[in-house]
Amino acid sequence: MGTEAGGPPDSTSQGESARPDRIARGESPAPGALLSVEAVRAGYGGIVALWDVSFSVAEGQVVTLLGSNGAGKTTTLRTVSGLLQAVSGRIAFDGREISHARTDQIVELGIVHVPEGRQLWPRMSVRENLELGAYLPRAKARRAESLERVFGLFPRLRERRNQAAGTLSGGERQMCALARGLMGLPRLLMLDEPSLGLAPRLVSEMFDSLRLLRAEGLTVLLVEQNVHQALELADVGYVLETGRIVLSGPSTELLASPLVRSAYLGVAS
Ligand code: ATP
């Protein structure tokens, strides 16, 4: 993948296409939403992975996209960040249509995507990896301040700042990827499975960090398979099944819903 600020280059997948240089201005279709995704259909070549998916994220909200493997969660993030071109539908950010914008333009607007799998530069130090996250002028001007902020959030990264990123543990790499995303000063942070592959203690630490970011007012779109923790953190959740949103609502309601409880939390109804 690799849309995150400063991430290593990535190969393109089948069906991805370069986007024309275009960001349209206009009214957001969902008033008040920072991100608005309306009836977006997208896929890979002839395979449709998202069937008219709609959801929105308001400023300061944490929204989680849930669903099992292959449901279309990653595809949704890739389509928002411009790596995949939607076949139809509309994506708007802060009132501007970005459906046909390029990834670099989307990053410049403040959408930072931290992909699954960390994708750090393994031979570079932790600090260098973090600094690469602040490559845009707006973020570069505040790089030292941002570095202090992320070292405050993740003291272990401060301790390891001169260590090659490739030698970090899985949990530390995930923290580093999240911290690098924060270095880009996101207006919307999109996280793809930040707890994937982490030991339970580290999953808790990761969610503690996300709670701190939430308290700071950061707007987050979170893809997670850790359904319980994600819903406890988020304001709103959407459940995707084979490319369609089958359920959505306030997290407290989803936590109580029979579908979520039986299919995702393993609770017999
Ligand atoms: P996971 O948690 O397993 O990543 P997901 O919900 O993120 O699941 P996606 O990765 O978005 O699911 O995949 C949605 C569908 O698109 C799946 O059927 C998958 O096989 C297909 N798909 C994903 N990437 C590609 C690709 N590069 N080329 C072709 N098909 C793809």
The pTM of this model reads 0.87
Question: Which pLDDT score is estimated for 119?
Answer: 81
In a domain, 73, yes or no: yes
Q: Looking at the predicted structure, is the pLDDT value of residue 201 above 90? A: no
| Residue 27 in this model has a pLDDT that exceeds 70 | no
- Is 4 inside a domain boundary? no
Does 9 fall in a domain? Answer: no
Above pLDDT 70, what percent of the chain? 87
Give nearest CA residue, ligand 1 atom 1. Answer: 69
- Mean predicted confidence (pLDDT) in 123-150: 93
Mutate to test the pocket of ligand 1, among 1, 47, 240 (most ligand atoms within 8 A of CB): 47
Tokens of 42: 């997208």
Which atom of ligand 1 sits closest to the CA of residue 225?
2
Residue 76 CA, ligand 1 centroid: distance in Å: 10
Beta strands in 28-147 (DSSP E): 33-44, 47-58, 62-66, 88-93, 96-97, 111-114
243 Cα nearest atom in ligand 1 = 14
**Candidates 75, 84, 114: which one to mutate for ligand 1, based on the most atoms within 8 Å of Cβ?**
75
Domain-embedded: residue 122: yes
Ligand 1 atom at minimal distance to the Cα of residue 13: 27
In a domain, 97, yes or no: yes
Angle between helix axes 143-153 and 200-215 (nearest 10 degrees) is 130
- 163 found inside a domain: yes
Ligand 1 proximal residues by C-beta, below 6 Å: 13-14, 44, 47, 49, 67, 69-75
Q: 89 C-alpha vs ligand 1 centroid, how far in Å?
A: 19
Tell me, yes or no, whether 60 lies in a domain.
yes
Domain residue limits at 62: 24-264
pLDDT tier, 31 (very low <50, low <70, confident <90, very high otherwise):
low
Question: What CATH number is attached to the domain comprising 68?
Answer: 3.40.50.300
> What's the 181 CA to ligand 1 centre distance in angstroms?
23
pLDDT digits (tens, 9 = 90+) for 40-64: 999 998 899 999 999 999 999 999 9
Residue 200 CA from chain centroid, whole number: 21
Ligand 1 centroid, distance to 20 Cα (angstroms): 24
Q: Would 3 be classed as within a structural domain? A: no
Please tell me the total count of domains within the chain: 1
User: Is residue 48 classed exposed, middle or buried when 0-12, 13-18 and 19+ CB atoms within 10 A define those classes?
Assistant: middle
- Shortest-distance Cα residue to atom 29 of ligand 1: 44
